[in-house]
Structure 1
Amino acid sequence: MADSKTKIELIEDADATGEIAKVYDEWRARSGRQNVSGILKCFSHRPDFLREVMSFSNTVHFSEGHLTRRMKEAIASWVSRLNHCPY
């Protein structure tokens, strides 16, 4: 991506304090990843809403259903690629 600057000012992992730091830590513990993804950081100014987004995502994207989790992630990755989205 030529311009990685977003219109929404994101709270980066190293800059997170208070409630957003707690939400980021919850995400890290659940996902096993070290850095919170940019798509989640879009909601960093509303930790309460970010928790809801994470809960919804865990239910819809990261669970088994008609499609396996692996298939859902493959579709999401392909759509992101088609849209030139880094997420």
Structure 2
Amino acid sequence: MTENALHPKVDTVPNPVHGIVPILRRTHPELMAEHETKIKLIEDKDATGDVANVYGEWRAKSGRQNMPGILKCFSHRPDFLREVMKFSDTVHFSEGHLNRKTKEAIASWVSYLNRCPY
């Protein structure tokens, strides 16, 4: 991979499962500061009530333990967060012309090109 002003050189191609965050943290920590959220996220340990229920639903469905930051930004509206999760399941994680692995690879590559940690 070549390096230019818009696309810094990284040591590996983004992994579609793990994304580009570990690569960017290691190779370009200055980029990560640009991506700090302006919205106060409700962390897993601080979630109560409906937010905790939605986080629990996500964990049960995904098999993962920690809610991703991209979803936490909707946590102040748990009703909307549920709809975002449904939409994401339909668009990103359902089979169609492209399988999930291919969609994840494309999403990781686009995130890398946009210097987005998600």
TM-score (norm 1): 0.94
Which structure is higher in RCO with an 8 Å CA cutoff and minimum separation 6?
2
For residues 19-65 of structure 1, the C-alpha deviation after alignment (integer angstroms, 9 at most, x for no partner) is 00000000001011111001001100000000000001001100100
Unaligned runs of 5+ in 2: 1-31
Once residues 33 and 84 of structure 2 are traced to their aligned partners in structure 1, the CA distance between those partners, rounded to angstroms, is 28
Identify the residue that residue 22 of structure 2 maps to in structure 1: none
TM-score (norm 2): 0.70
Once residues 52 and 9 of structure 1 are traced to their aligned partners in structure 2, the CA distance between those partners, rounded to angstroms, is 20
Matched, 1:55 2:86: yes
Once residues 30 and 51 of structure 1 are traced to their aligned partners in structure 2, the CA distance between those partners, rounded to angstroms, is 12
Q: Which runs of 4+ in 1 moved over 3 A?
A: none
Matched, 1:2 2:44: no
User: Residue 103 of structure 2 is aligned with which of 72, 76, 81?
Assistant: 72
Give the CA deviation at 1:6. 1.1
Q: Aligned pair count?
A: 87
Identify the residue that residue 17 of structure 1 maps to in structure 2: 48
Unaligned runs of 5+ in 1: none
Identify the residue that residue 42 of structure 1 maps to in structure 2: 73
Give the CA deviation at 1:4. 5.3
